[in-house]
Amino acid sequence: MRKWWKRLRFIIHVRRFLPFLFEFFVSREVPMRKKAFSVGLFLLYMVLPFDLIPDWLALFGLIDDLAVFLFILQQVIKMAPISLKEKYNL
C-alpha cells in the first residue's frame, strides 16, 4: 500500500519537477549522453505508432501516455547527480 501512495504523490506533484527538469538539461554536471538518452526515450515513445490503450478512448487513452511520461521522469531522476537531487529534495 505504501508503494501505491508514493506513486500517487509522485503523480500529484509532477508540476514541481519542471524546474528540476530545466536544471537537469542545462547543468554541466549531467553528461550529454544522459540528456540525450532521456530525450531519446521520450521521442521514441512519441514516434512509435501504437499505444497500450488507443487515444480515441478519451480519458483511458491518456492514462498510458501519463504512465510512460512518469516512467521517463523517474528515469531522469535516477540519472541526475546527487547534488541536483538534494537541491530539489528528490
Q: Letter for the amino acid at 28?
A: R
Can you give the pTM of this predicted structure? 0.71
What pLDDT is attached to residue 50? 67
Measure the CA–CA gap between 32 and 39, rounded to whole angstroms. 11
| 7-21, 32-46, 50-64, range with the lowest pLDDT | 50-64
Question: Is the pLDDT score of 89 beyond 90?
Answer: no
Q: What are residue 65's phi and psi, to 5 degrees?
A: -65, -40
CB-based contact 59:45 (threshold 8 Å)? no
Domain ranges of the chain: 2-43+57-86
Alpha-carbon distance values, 20 to 16, 87, 88 (Å): 8, 9, 7
**DSSP summary character for residue 7:** H
